[in-house]
A and B are shown apart, each in its own frame.
Chain A
Amino acid sequence: MGSMLGDLPSYDPHNFSLLRPSDPSNPSKMTPITYHPTHDRTLPPPNQVITSEARNILLRHIYQRAEDKLRPKRAASENLTPEHGSKHPKAMGNSDGPQF
């Protein structure tokens, strides 16, 4: 059992080295200062005010699929191996079909 608690991590050996157990009936009375910021940096830079994408998941999928459909056409007209061309629509059908 002792071995299971052996070698507990130590990041700074000084930490808690001077701490003695306090009287159990006497709880800690240390209270931190309450923080009341009056500076302006409580507001983040404008590009870090995060919002959620307005488009919902369904629309996003439809648009994504539409884009994906466009892309292979263009690719096929250039130089794709037949193998690639046939695989793509199949994968599309499998993954997207049941979701709608």
Chain B
Amino acid sequence: MSVWNYVVTAHKPTNVTHSCVGNFTSPQELNLIIAKCTRVEIHLLTPEGLQPLLDVPLYGRIATLELFRPHGEAQDLLFIATERYKFCVLQWDPEASEVITRAMGDVSDRIGRPTDNGQIGIIDPDCRLIGLHLYDSLFKVIPFDNKGQLKEAFNLRLEELQVLDIKFLYGCPQPTIAVLYQDNKDARHVKTYEVALKEKDFIEGPWSQNNLDNGADLLIPVPPPLCGVLIIGEETIVYCSASSFKAISIRPSITRAYGRVDADGSRYLLSDFVGLLQLLVIMHEKDKVTGLKIELLGETSVASTISYLDNAVVYIGSSYGDSQLIKLNLQPDPKGSYVEVLERYVNLGPIVDFCVVDLDGQGQVVTCSGAYKDGSLRIVRNGIGINEQASVELQGIKGMWSLRGSSDDPYDTFLVVSFIGDTRILAMNLEDELEETEIDGFCSEVQTLFCHDAVYNQLVQVTSSSVRLVSSINRELRHEWHARSGYSINVATANATQVLLATGSGHLIYLEIGDGILTETKHAQLEYDVSCLDLSPIGENAKHSQLAAVGMWTDISVQIFSLPDLNLITKENLGGEIIPRSVLLCSLEGVSYLLCALGDGHLLSFLLNINTGELTDRKKVSLGTQPITLRTFSSKNTTYVFAASDRPTVIYSSNKKLLYSNVHLKEVIHMCPFNSAAFPDSLGIAKEGELSIGTIDDIQKLHIRSIPLGEQARRICHQEQTRTFGICSLKYNQSNTEETEMHFVRLLDDQTYEFISTYALDQYEYGCSIISCSFSDDHNVYYCIGTAYVMPEENEPTKGRILVFLVEDQKLQLITEKETKGSVYSLNSFNGKLLTAINQKIQLFKWTTRDDGTRELMPECGHHGHILALYVQTRGDFIVVGDLMKSISLLIYKNEEGAIEECARDYNANWMSAVEILDDDVYLGAENNFNLFTVRKNSEGATDEERSRLEVVGEYHLGEFINRFRQGSLVMQSPDSEMGQIPTVIFGTVNGVIGIIASLNHEQYVFFEKLQSNMRKVIKGVGGLSHEQWRSFYEKKTVDARNFLDGDLIESFLDLGRGRMEEISMSMSVPVEELMNRVEEMARLH
């Protein structure tokens, strides 16, 4: 790898942190707006459900999100504040369908201590001001003028230091806030203040309430007519206003989210940390509150946000599990739940750990996702799987087509398989088995070049000598057209009414299919021989095509002919020396394309004007290295293209853009759709020596499978030899009296993902690290687990264990254990020994045999000098340590001396969250301010001082908290492609992002950096936020990003219109096609 890195998102954040409902896109439309850390999603409420409209990336981490409506506006505006103290007010322009910025600004202060309990951003219900609590003891006010315009912001001094929540009260003549705070004796109180805008000061408010529930953490302002505030504690809920006070005691729970149901604020949904959904009712007579009532409704994912949508449907946004759309039913189900889950939205966050499992050169990521009861494993892989239903051994398949028993039969009956010297016909028998049959009218002693269903209950077979028209009812030959002798047919194609074929010497012949008759309608003499052709109907008539596509030998071109007159209307030279091997006319999402596959695994795509035959927007991608055969198929009423080759690919369209997804099969010679009654929506797939029938996964780029665990997995590793996963997990048990945690080491089968063995850890003992490793002079492969005893009274663990397990008969057998003087944060297999990180120390253990033959871990040597050594990676004798707060240091193990010594360190104070070794000299780190950086070993330094310093060479703000780096790739690494040479690291984050860091060479880096700076000028930051500032390394200081590139921005080049692409092409002096190719190649890394 190198110092030049390219960072790109393979899976976007899915952790939902905020949501709100309002009329954003139009006064009549109701929208759900969702924040997923750095992205805002806009949805529309429709009769069919939630319709996703737009995913808006934001150059900032969203701290607050609110919809509001200034006086005189017909639509709601969206207020967003980011964690880096920027804010913006966004508006939807329905005419242009654009998000425009009404206002923006910087609300940072030069001095001030950032709040511990997160940022608060609130808007006065009467739209007089926006209030922000960003720094302790300061309340920032952004006033509105009477036209709804924002004015200069100013600070007010807030006496309360430990603020837990602030909300605006409804119905106050002056803007009034309620402040929930904790005093220096840890008691909690609520105070109200009026904001005097003119005097720029707080005035004592109408009421206050002292000595609340010790767990009070949340204020809910109640709208008119009641206008008080609900104070949500862990054991009580209080309604408070100037004139009234009502309390209710509740089952102990920590409320995480609330959602208002009624506009008058009489009902609220509350969700706690175990996902129990409750309804809180304020009982009132007119504007006088008479009491509170709370009822359990049922269980959902652990909610971080709740939005009541419409007609009893509620959105549950979750950080710890999948988000949900639920319905509140009037009557409980048999289990007593009023909650019905309508829809589920995948969330991978928080990814606490993951491992990369290699399957045939393709990485598959298995994550530890979710928390509490929503903990799960997620299997994430790029590409599409085929679920094989049946297969037979068949050698030498040359072609394959499915045919129906009659023209109006919805299902396919026959599968025609062609070989070099004969043709066999398979059909489903009564037992739903595939068996060989015959179609009398077909010629089965020769190879079939093409087959198709035809109108009038007929079938067409093309062989090298003739075209046969056969009745599909009695299967007898009705008519035959013979090729002239000496001119055998080389290639042919057909649809329901037309046949096009080419014979030697460039003869192109067009036949039309009638009822029992084939009519040679047109003949054309071409300059060269034809290599491939197609006349798939893509116009309005599904049975007849106006155009034919023909690929040519010799001049390497593709030509479009009009039908039936066979006039050449377009000729496109393909360039190069590789012959087109397959052409296809297709229509995806209503866009017509011509696809042309070459003999070397490249694919060209063109936009096709079906009226003029004009070809535009030429694109070229590399799919494999072998000739490709193209075929369309449909699944769930959508058309896709299957490209059969050494690297089979499905081509599909999403948002009118062509996307390519790998199919998890090694080599496919031929594919044809086979939709039979027994195997609906299936594909027939010819591989080397085998014919199989299978269904295809949903077509999407990343495929995610969820394995719910009911507990939280914290560490995972795969053991290839035993085909198992080992995980460290914890399970929360909540009884009425107290809640307890149980920690386990569990063994899972790597195919079924079932628990096959469990080792329960001691009370207070946490699993902290797990690896699969082997030791010198021992052929066994072990699971090693590092633990910590987390005692409530200790700041840092002082005791832990290393457990060594062997998998025998699919069971975890404890071979040996070793007590440690602290938490075993990290384990690495190192020179046939075990390298551990235990609190401040790096400790090496060797694997020894006791006199009685039992095994033991014996300490060999160690290295002190860390605050907490949390993350360790090794390469050869080098050890890279990520410290709790002292960045990265480099150690070396000196074998002869039996010692570990420090070589160099980065003297910055980075609080690390993950480290990885990129190459011998360059190390990658992620830290808790969401930054990425690289450091380089300076072995050439002139002085000891220089050599002992790790030089910071790359800096970048990712905006995501990385928990783990792993070497590996999500895509098939084809060794011959250029991309196969780009090494990658995968990372997983708290928000559920899976990302890729790819190392570039210098030429690539310079090229893409130039493209990035051009993209910055073209793609504007939503809300006026700057990309350059966003990616700048941000800690106490801010440093411009360097030696990292933003792949997300660069790859959005592919979404630009042609005009914008040409602008960039001009400014970079690089042709558009080359730009597209290079960006597409990068996009294929994930």
Residues of A at the B interface (CB closer than 8 Å) are: 1-2, 4-6, 8-22, 24, 26-44, 47-53, 56-57, 60, 64
Contact = CB atoms under 8 A, between A and B. Distances in A.
A1 B338 CA distance: 10
B710 to A, nearest CB: 15
B635 to A, nearest CB: 13
Contacts of A35: 54-57, 99, 1022
B52 A4 contact: no
B1020 A40 contact: yes
Contact of B101 (A11, A15, A42): A42
Interface string B310-350: 11110000000010010111111000001011111110000
A49 B104 contact: yes
A50 B105 contact: yes
B98 A39 contact: yes
B1022 A37 contact: yes
B445 interface: no
B16 interface: no
Nearest to B297: A5
Given A5-B328, A35-B54, A37-B1019, A52 B341 contact: no
A16 B281 CA distance: 25
B397 interface: no
A16 B103 contact: no
B868 to A, nearest CB: 38
B313 A16 contact: yes
Contacts of B105: 49-51
Given A19-B342, A27-B322, A42-B100, A53 B152 contact: yes
B47 A52 contact: no
In the complex, which range does the number of interface residues on chain B fall in?
Answer: 35 or more
A69 to B, nearest CB: 15
Contact of A51 (B153, B281, B325): B153
B738 to A, nearest CB: 28
28 contacts: A5-B330, A5-B338, A8-B312, A9-B261, A15-B310, A15-B313, A16-B310, A21-B343, A22-B342, A27-B706, A31-B654, A32-B55, A34-B55, A35-B57, A36-B57, A37-B1019, A38-B1056, A38-B1057, A39-B100, A39-B1020, A43-B1020, A50-B106, A51-B106, A52-B153, A52-B154, A53-B152, A53-B155, A64-B199
A7 to B, nearest CB: 8
A4 B149 contact: no
Given A36-B1019, A36-B1055, A38-B1020, A50 B199 contact: no
A21 to B, nearest CB: 5
Contacts of A34: 54-55, 57, 1052, 1055
Nearest to B97: A35
A60 B200 contact: yes
Contacts of B200: 60, 64
B54 to A, nearest CB: 5
Contacts, number: 210
Contact of A11 (B30, B103, B1022): B30
Interface string B1013-1034: 0000011111110000000000
A10 B698 contact: no
Nearest to A32: B52
Contacts of B1022: 35, 37, 42
Name the prevailing secondary structure of the B interface residues: strand
A89 to B, nearest CB: 17
A76 to B, nearest CB: 21
A57 B93 contact: no
B841 interface: no
A27 B281 CA distance: 32
B794 interface: no
- The winner among A1, A20, A60 for most chain B CB atoms within 10 A is A1
B98 A28 contact: no
Interface of B: 30, 41-43, 45-57, 87-89, 93, 96, 98-109, 140, 142, 149-157, 199-200, 261-263, 267, 279, 281, 293, 295, 297, 308-313, 322, 325, 327-332, 338, 340-346, 654-655, 698, 700, 706, 1018-1024, 1052, 1055-1057, 1060
B340 A21 contact: yes
A16 B328 contact: no
B1024 A30 contact: no
- The winner among A22, A27, A52, A64 for most chain B CB atoms within 10 A is A52
B1018 A38 contact: yes
A6 B330 CA distance: 7
Contacts of B312: 5, 8
Contacts of B297: 5
A8 B313 CA distance: 9
- The winner among A28, A35, A39, A51 for most chain B CB atoms within 10 A is A35
A52 B311 contact: no
A24 B345 CA distance: 10
Given A1-B295, A42-B1023, A21 B52 contact: no
A16 B326 CA distance: 11
A19 B153 contact: no
Contacts of B293: 4
A42 B91 CA distance: 10
A38 B325 CA distance: 33
Given A4-B295, A36-B1056, A42-B1020, A16 B311 contact: yes
Nearest to B294: A4
B142 to A, nearest CB: 6
A29 B698 contact: yes
Contact of A48 (B46, B55, B102, B154): B102
Contacts of A4: 267, 279, 281, 293, 295
B100 A41 contact: yes
Contact of A52 (B55, B155, B698, B1021): B155
A30 B48 CA distance: 12
Among all A-B residue pairs, the 6 with the closest Cβ atoms: A50-B105, A32-B52, A48-B103, A42-B1020, A41-B100, A19-B49
Contact of A10 (B41, B48, B310, B322): B310
Given A31-B55, A49-B104, A57 B261 contact: no
Contacts of B96: 39
Contact of B109 (A24, A38, A52): A52
Contacts of B56: 35
Contacts of B1055: 34, 36
A52 to B, nearest CB: 4
B155 A5 contact: no
Contact of B155 (A20, A31, A50, A57): A57
Given A4-B281, A28-B343, A42-B101, A9 B263 contact: yes
Nearest to A40: B1020
A22 B484 CA distance: 59
Given A21-B327, A27-B345, A51-B152, 18 more contacts: A2-B331, A4-B267, A5-B328, A13-B311, A15-B310, A19-B343, A22-B342, A24-B344, A27-B346, A28-B346, A32-B41, A32-B53, A43-B1020, A49-B105, A50-B105, A50-B106, A52-B154, A56-B155
B328 A27 contact: no
A22 B52 contact: no
